[in-house]
Amino acid sequence: MFRTLFAAAVALGLAAWSAGPAVADEKGDTHEGTVVKAEGGKLTMTAKGDEKEHQHAVAADARITCDGKECKLEDLMKGYKVKVTTEKRDEKAVATKIEAQKAE
């Protein structure tokens, strides 16, 4: 009986440990704003409600969409509205998800 409980506890612990990174990825820092420029692996934008420009390094594997369709960083044009999700990789914050919409 002790072996069964121990095996169940180990299995539960492994399941929780393997699910941990997936949950952490979903908890990235997200903010919205407007594209100033997008080139050379970097996104320059202004935050919603603030005109001060700031820049994000964009991960090589970042998921980028324009009006709901997959696109490239260079497809983002000045004035597009964006929602940017960042996460820490190697102690640096990088954009891992960019959702863009053409300004109306």
- Residue 22: predicted pLDDT: 36
Give the pLDDT band of residue 81 (cuts 50, 70, 90): very high
What gap in Å lies between CA 100 and CA 96, rounded to an integer? 13
Residue 75 lies in a domain: yes
CATH number, domain at 82? 2.40.50.320
Q: Is the pTM of this model over 0.85?
A: no
**How many structural domains compose the chain?**
1
pLDDT higher than 90, residue 15: no
What gap in Å lies between CA 4 and CA 24, rounded to an integer? 31
Assigned token pair, 82: 């964006």
Q: Kindly state the average pLDDT of the residues 54-76.
A: 96
Q: What is the dihedral of CA 13, 14, 16, 20, to 10 degrees?
A: 130
pLDDT higher than 90, residue 104: no
Residue 22 lies in a domain: no
